Chain A
Amino acid sequence: MKAIVNIFLKEGVLDPQGKAIHHALDAMNFEGVEDVRMGKQLVLKLTSDNKEDALKEVTQMAEEILANTVIEDYTIELV
Chain B
Amino acid sequence: MKHVAILQFPGTNCDLDTKYAFEKLGCTTTVIWHKERELPKNADLVVIPGGFSYGDYLRSGAIAQFSPIMNSVITFANSGGKVLGICNGFQILTEVGLLPGALKRNIGLHFISKFQTLKVVNNSNDFLQKCDKDRVLNIPIAHADGNYYIDEEKFKVLEKNEQILLRYSDAHGEPVIVNGSVTSIAGVCNQNKNVFGLMPHPERALEDILGSTDGIKMLEGLIA
Task: Give the chain B neighbours of A68 by CB distance below 8 A.
Answer: 59, 62, 95, 102
Please give, as numbers and ranges, the residues of chain B lying within 8 Å of A65 by CB-CB distance.
Answer: 58, 62-63, 65-66
CB of B106 closer than 8 Å to a CB of A: yes
Known: A65-B66, A71-B102, A71-B104. A16 touches B147 (CB 8 A): yes
On whether the beta carbons of A16 and B105 are closer than 8 Å, the reply is yes
Question: Which A-chain residue is minimally distant from B97 (CB atoms)?
Answer: A70
**A14 & B102 in contact (Cβ 8 Å cutoff):** no
What 1/0 flags go to B141-164 for Cβ under 8 Å of A? 000000101100000000000000
Contact B107–A70 (Cβ < 8 Å): no
Considering the complex, give the chain A residue whose CB is closest to the CB of B106. Answer: A16
A60-77 interface bits toward B, Cβ cutoff 8 Å, 1 = contact, 0 = none: 000001101011000000
Q: Assuming the A-B contacts A68-B95, A70-B94, A71-B149, are A16 and B104 also in contact, with contact meaning beta carbons closer than 8 angstroms in the complex?
A: yes
Contacts of B58 in A (CB 8 A): 65-66
Nearest opposing residue in chain A for B104, CB measure: A71
Which listed residue, A9, A14, A20, A70, touches B109 by the CB 8 Å rule? A20
B40 at the interface (CB under 8 A from A): no
| CB atoms of B66 and A9 under 8 A apart | no
Report if B180 contacts A (CB, 8 A): yes
Q: Do A16 and B62 form a contact, CB below 8 Å, given A68-B95, A71-B102?
A: no
User: Counting CB contacts under 8 A, is B101 at the interface?
Assistant: yes
Instruction: Assess the B62–A13 pair: CB atoms within 8 A.
Output: no
CB distance from A66 to the nearest CB of B (A): 7
Bound CA–CA A16/B108 (angstroms) = 7
Cβ-neighbour of A14 out of B59, B62, B95, B107 (below 8 A): B107
Residues on A with beta carbons closer than 8 Å to the beta carbon of B150: 70
CB distance from B37 to the nearest CB of A (A): 20
Q: How far is the CB of B135 from chain A (nearest CB, A)?
A: 30
**Nearest-neighbor residue (CB-CB) of B66 within chain A:** A65
* Residues of B participating in the A interface, judged by any CB pair closer than 8 Å: 58-59, 62-63, 65-66, 94-95, 101-102, 104-109, 147, 149-150, 180
> 6 A–B contact pairs at CB < 8 A?
A14-B180, A16-B108, A16-B109, A65-B65, A70-B101, A70-B150
